[in-house]
């Protein structure tokens, strides 16, 4: 936990994002040679207040594609708040609307140097389906604020294979992960555009992944913005991938772009 505090505090002088940022992604499912677009996601970041203190609000809206709507319609929304400038997670809302299944979950997070405590309340069909408190002895993050943390790390001070133990809090689940820095990489968007990237691998102890070691990868732009460019999860059957398709109001020019002239 102390390592997290040091790494993030060193990056606080210039956070790599600003209020008004908007990122859009296409979500694909891959199985062998089969590639299907099954949805899209829009991420928005804004400055606000939480309990009368300055905070960042992250909002992620996911919707399945028109083709998949006929099979299984998904309209999920995640909303998170993090303190400024420490980026400690404060509050998280998960609204799930998947087919005929829906619920709303609220999580208040109290991250301390030696532990993280979270109060989780879930409502379904107008009734309280869950109201519990969980406590873990390390850094706990919700699904959105983990990305702010990853973007704010001081990569200039990191060494290859540096690793950090984190717990993702989601409902009553405590997903233990290891985030590992894998160095520089390249993300190819198409024949004329590539991105210089920093690669993170994630070990995940969960049965939905084909194996726990390097179950997920995140490519972050190797420039001052630290934008998530690509995400990949190796599932038991196939893989899910998200690709950045557009962006607005970045704090700095996206200097990681490599444009290739066609002959």
**What is the CATH T-level fold of the domain 2-13+20-259, as seen in this structure?**
YmcC-like fold (2.40.360)
Instruction: Work out the angle at residue 101's Cα, subtended by the Cα atoms of residues 76 and 238, and round it to the nearest 5 degrees.
Output: 65
How much is the mean pLDDT over the chain? Answer: 86
Task: Report how far residue 163's alpha carbon sits from residue 178's, in angstroms, rounded to the nearest whole number.
Answer: 6
* Residue (of 148, 137, 168) closest to 85 by Cα position: 148
Structure tokens at 220: 């972050």
Tell me the CB-side half-sphere exposure of residue 180, using CA atoms within 13 A. Answer: 14
Q: What is the pLDDT of residue 34?
A: 64
Q: First-to-last CA distance in the chain?
A: 51
Residue in the block written with tokens 């590992």: 180
Sign for the pseudo-dihedral over CA of 136, 142, 147, 149: negative
59 pLDDT tier (thresholds 50, 70, 90): very high
Q: What is the pLDDT of residues 151-163, one digit of tens each?
A: 999 998 899 999 9
Q: Is the pLDDT of residue 28 over 80?
A: yes
- Contacts made by residues 179-183, CB under 8 angstroms, sequence distance 24+: 179/150, 181/155, 182/217
Q: Is the pLDDT of residue 4 over 60?
A: no
Q: What is the pLDDT of residue 237?
A: 67
Task: Report how far residue 22's alpha carbon sits from residue 32's, in angstroms, rounded to the nearest whole number.
Answer: 32
Q: Where are the domains of the chain?
A: 2-13+20-259
Q: Is the pLDDT of residue 1 over 60?
A: no
Instruction: Work out the angle at residue 253's Cα, subtended by the Cα atoms of residues 259 and 255, and round it to the nearest 5 degrees.
Output: 40
Q: What is the pLDDT of residue 209?
A: 46
Q: What is the pLDDT of residue 6?
A: 37
Find out whether 72 and 98 touch, Cβ atoms under 8 Å: yes
Backbone phi and psi for residue 19, each to the nearest 5 degrees, phi listed first: -60, 140
Q: What is the pLDDT of residue 32?
A: 65
Residue in the block written with tokens 């899209």: 40
What predicted TM-score, i.e. pTM, was given to this entire model?
0.87
Q: What is the pLDDT of residue 10?
A: 42
Task: Report how far residue 212's alpha carbon sits from residue 17's, in angstroms, rounded to the nearest whole number.
Answer: 31
Crossing angle for the helix pair 2-11 and 145-152, to the nearest 10 degrees = 70
């Amino acid at each position: 936990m102390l390592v997290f505090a040091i790494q993030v505090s060193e990056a606080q002088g210039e956070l790599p994002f600003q209020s008004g940022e908007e990122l859009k992604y296409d979500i694909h499912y891959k199985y062998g040679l089969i590639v299907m677009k099954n949805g899209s996601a829009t991420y928005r970041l804004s400055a606000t207040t939480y309990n009368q203190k300055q905070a960042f609000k992250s909002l992620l809206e996911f919707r399945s594609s028109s083709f998949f709507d006929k099979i299984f319609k998904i309209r999920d929304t995640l909303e998170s708040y993090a303190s400024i400038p420490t980026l400690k997670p404060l509050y998280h809302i998960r609204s799930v609307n998947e087919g005929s299944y829906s619920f709303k979950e609220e999580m208040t997070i109290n991250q301390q140097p030696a532990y993280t405590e979270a109060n989780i309340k879930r409502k379904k069909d107008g009734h309280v389906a869950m109201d519990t408190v969980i406590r873990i002895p390390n850094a706990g993050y919700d699904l959105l604020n983990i990305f702010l943390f990853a973007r704010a790390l001081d990569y200039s001070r990191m060494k290859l294979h540096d690793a950090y133990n984190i717990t993702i809090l989601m409902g009553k689940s405590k997903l233990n992960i290891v985030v590992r820095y894998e160095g520089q990489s390249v993300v190819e968007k198409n024949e004329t555009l590539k991105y210089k990237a920093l690669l993170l691998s994630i070990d995940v102890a969960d049965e939905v992944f084909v194996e726990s070691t390097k179950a997920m990868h995140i490519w972050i732009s190797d420039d001052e913005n630290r934008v998530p460019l690509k995400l990949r999860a190796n599932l038991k059957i196939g893989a899910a991938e998200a690709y950045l398709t557009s962006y607005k109001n970045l704090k700095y020019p996206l200097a990681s772009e490599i444009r290739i002239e066609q002959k």
